[in-house]
Amino acid sequence: MEKYIALLRGVNIGGKNKISMPELKLAFEEIGFLDVITYINSGNVIFSSSTQDKSEMIRKSESIIEDKFKISIPVTVISSKELSNVLKNAPGWWNTDNKEIYDNAIFVISPTSVDEVFAAVGDAKPEYEKVGSHGNVIFWSASLKTYNKTRWSKIASSSVNNNVTIRTANTTRKLLELAKK
Last residue of a domain, which of 67, 83, 99?
83
For 24, the domain range is 2-83
My answer on whether 54 and 24 are in the same domain is: yes
d(CA 118, CA 46): 28
Which of residues 95 and 169 earns the better pLDDT score?
Answer: 169
94 and 142, same domain (yes or no): yes
pLDDT at 15 over 80: no
pLDDT of amino acid 12: 82
Give buried/exposed letters for 64-83 (b at 16+ CB in 10 A, else e): bbeebbebebbbbbbbbebb
Q: Coil, strand, or helix at residue 34?
A: strand
CATH number at residue 138: 3.30.70.1260
Residues 91 and 147 in one domain: yes
Number of structural domains in the chain: 2
Q: 70 and 97: one domain? A: no
How far apart (Å, rounded) are the C-alpha atoms in residues 34 and 158?
Answer: 36
Q: pLDDT tens-digit profile of 79-128?
A: 999 999 999 999 999 988 888 999 999 999 999 999 999 999 999 999 99
The residue out of 83, 104, 139 marking a domain boundary is: 83
How many angstroms separate the CA atoms of 63 and 70, rounded?
A: 10
pLDDT in tens, 129-159: 999 999 999 999 999 999 989 999 888 888 8
Whether residue 110 is found in the same domain as residue 148: yes
What predicted TM-score, i.e. pTM, was given to this entire model?
A: 0.93
- The answer to whether residues 93 and 140 touch, using CB atoms and an 8 Å cutoff, is no
